[in-house]
Every structure is written in structure tokens, then in C-alpha cells.
Amino acid sequence: MKKKNRIPFNRLDYLYHRHEDEYNQAALSALCSGWYILGPELETFEKEFACYIGSSYCVGVNSGLDALTLSLRVLGIGEGDEVIVQANTYIATVLAITENRAIPVFVEPDEFHGIDASKIEAAITSKTKAIMIVHLYGQSCDMEPIVAISKQTGIPLIEDCAQSHGSTYQGKMTGSFGIMGCFSFYPTKNLGAFGDAGAIVTNDAELADKLRTLRNYGSKIKYQNETKGVNSRLDEIQAALLQVRLKYLEEIIAERERIAQSYLAGIDNPAVRLPKIRRGARHTWHLFVVQCDKRVELQAWPEDSGIQTQIHYPIPPHLSKAYSDLGYSKGSFPITERLADTVLSLPLYCGMTSDEINYVINAVNGYRP
């Protein structure tokens, strides 16, 4: 029989219960309003989130994947166009590219798990139509050189911020560097909804307007369809709930930072490499990812102590069955592949007690290869 986890990887119910009355009230009020799609709750959330990021506009959509897909579509990127993307990302980033029939051009990551800025220029060709970067695990990519490349070449920069709500680089929020920043509000994210939801932020009024049309069947006025759009709208109930969660986002990040600092101070095992923090970046610890050459053994060890861990991500997109048509094989992106073989995410959730944090630290420190 499977042993019950003493420490699960995540506890989403804790954050709900912490402000239960406010969430219940927000959902009830949306329910009672009789208006469920594209209404005042979404408008309010869009304004509040744009303000939080420091962008002029926010367009709510159905998911982070839709945010990424529509961000490429609105730029007119399609068949045969190339989009530069880091190789070590969640598959959604790559799916957004191929969903538009464009070609992903992979670039290896740096030691902070963001795209290696020094390798971007070599990947640019006459067909490159966008650079899509991913602020993985809650930490910003190296934005100064990346923004410079985008400016010099005129190639638009799109940020995948699905894991980086509130993360900054030199004091500026991720999502506000490129032409568009794409967010997921999947329940496990630092700014998590209670179902699927996502958004795109931008300073470009024309793009925001086009995105609003695209998400709604290509129509601004009912039954007048200007373009071939999709149905991708962030509903009123989720928008109302997200307003509540956004109020507490800074508290949530501060608590995650405290737990991460405890791990960084407490984990001391030569077989386990701790995550590095980029200078000038504020890491928001969506995930706490260590590395170990004997990952299988390390993962089995805390699991025997009832600690649940996860791997983000075990198979890089270029080696997944879904992308066998791209013709890559093992060895195509060795840094990414090595990460896929060695990374391990430790439990980190709001409401974790000091005892639980120490239990994880002691278990990891007790592991011997």
C-alpha cells in the first residue's frame, strides 16, 4: 500500500482557507450578478493586474497556453516562421509556436535556468519572427542583453511569465520588458485561480485591442467578425477570485521567499546543488529546484520519509514524442538534457510549518549517494 505523504508537494487548500470568506463572497457576488463572461469583474482584474505589472493593458484569456498562442498570432506569425525559445521549458511554450505552424528554434539555458542570452544571436536567421523567453521557476532571465538583442534586430520579444508573477529584474517586473508578457493563473501558480485562466500584458494599445478581438471569436461587436478568432476568455468568477488573490500576492511571495531562504540556509549536502540567484533578480520561488547527479536515488530517499517531490521537467520538448517530427535526438541540447536528468523540485507551499521545512531539510541532508 502506498504510504501517505507526510509532506505533500503542494497544499492549495491552505491559501483558500486563509481568506475563505473573501473568496466565497467574491464568487457568490459574481454568481448572483447574472453576468458570467466578459463583464465588470474581468475589467477590474485586468486593470489591477496591468497596474501591478506596470503595463498599460491586460487582456484576460482562458489559459497561459492561450496567452502564448495568441501573442504569436496577433503578430501575424505563422507557417514557416521561426521563433527562438529556450530548450528547457514546459511544453506549453513550444506548443504555442507549433499551434501557429511556426518552427521552434531551441537555445540552451544558462546556470539560472533562463535562456542563455549569449547564444541567442547565433540562432537568429532571416526567418526569425520572435524571441520567446521563459522566466522559469520564478526567476527572471538575463534581461539586459536580451532586450538589447531585440532592440538591435527589431525582433519582437515575448515573455512567458507563467511561473514569474511578481519576479523582477533590476527592479522591473517580468512581463514588462517585451512587447507582450504572457501569464498563466493555473491553480498552482503564485497567482493561482481556482480553474484555468491566463492573461497577456502589453503597452501597445493596438495589440491589446486586436487581442481582445481575437479572444472573442474575432469580434468586437456581436456577430460582426473582423478576423478568425477563438473562444478564450477569462470568466467572471475566476476574475473575481483572482482580484482577491492578487491582493495577497506580495504576502504569498514573501512567505515563499522565507521558506526558500530556510532551504538555502539549511540544506548542506555535497551531493545536492542548490538553486542560484541571478544578481539583480527577485526570485519568487514558484519552484525550489535542486540538482543531483543521482536524482533517482535522491527522489526515493525523501519519499521514504513521506516527502513528495516533483520533476520540472523530466523530458525536454525536443525529445518528447510530440516533437519527434522535428528530428532531434539525445545530445541535440546537452545542457537542457542534463538538467532534465538532474533537477528535483522540493515541496514549497504557503502554510508550510517550521517543523515541515526542517523535516525536508533533514531528509535531504541525510541522503548519501
Minimal distance, residue 102 CB to ligand PLP, in Å: 16
Residue 298 binds to ligand PLP (criterion: CB under 6 A): no
Minimal distance, residue 252 CB to ligand PLP, in Å: 17
Beta carbon nearer to ligand PLP, 66 or 255: 66
Beta carbon nearer to ligand PLP, 162 or 364: 162
List binders of ligand PLP among 208-267 (CB under 6 A). Answer: none
Residue 65 binds to ligand PLP (criterion: CB under 6 A): yes
Name the residue type at position 317.
P
Q: Which of 69, 140, 163, 336 forms a contact with ligand PLP (CB under 6 A)? A: 163
Residue 190 binds to ligand PLP (criterion: CB under 6 A): no
Interface region with ligand PLP, contact rule CB under 6 A, candidates 90-98, 120-128, 238-246, 247-255: 90-98
List binders of ligand PLP among 108-147 (CB under 6 A). Answer: 134
Residue 64 binds to ligand PLP (criterion: CB under 6 A): yes
Beta carbon nearer to ligand PLP, 7 or 193: 193
What track of x and - describes contact with ligand PLP for positions 91 through 110 (by CB under 6 A)?
-xx-----------------
Minimal distance, residue 92 CB to ligand PLP, in Å: 4
Angle between the N-to-C axes of helices 40-53 and 236-247, in degrees from 0 to 180, rounded to the nearest 10: 40
Q: Which of 83, 146, 162, 357 forms a contact with ligand PLP (CB under 6 A)? A: 162
Residue 150 binds to ligand PLP (criterion: CB under 6 A): no
Q: Which of 23, 49, 52, 90 forms a contact with ligand PLP (CB under 6 A)? A: 90
3 state SS for the chain: CCCCCCECCCCHHHHHHHCHHHHHHHHHHHHHHCCCCCCHHHHHHHHHHHHHHCCCEEEEECCHHHHHHHHHHCCCCCCCCEEEEECCCCHHHHHHHHHCCCEEEEECECCCCCECHHHCHHHCCCCEEEEEEECHHHCCCCHHHHHHHHHHHCCCEEEECCCCCCCEECCEECCCCCCEEEEECCCCCCCCCCCCCEEEEECCHHHHHHHHHHCECCEEECCEECCCCCECCCCHHHHHHHHHHHHCHHHHHHHHHHHHHHHHHHCCCCCCECCCCCCCEECCCCCEEEECCCHHHHHHHHHHCCECCECCCCCCHHHCHHHHHHCCCCCCCHHHHHHHHHEEEECCCCCCCHHHHHHHHHHHHHCCC
Residue 87 binds to ligand PLP (criterion: CB under 6 A): no
Dist CA 63 CA 90 (whole Å): 14
Chain residue at closest Cβ approach to ligand PLP: 64
Residue 89 binds to ligand PLP (criterion: CB under 6 A): yes
Beta carbon nearer to ligand PLP, 64 or 347: 64
C-alpha cell at 100: 501557429
Count of residues interacting with ligand PLP (CB under 6 A)? 15
Residue 343 binds to ligand PLP (criterion: CB under 6 A): no
List binders of ligand PLP among 12-41 (CB under 6 A). Answer: none
Q: Which of 166, 175, 192, 198 forms a contact with ligand PLP (CB under 6 A)? A: 198
Return residues touching ligand PLP (CB under 6 A). Answer: 63-65, 89-90, 92-93, 134, 160, 162-163, 184, 186, 196, 198
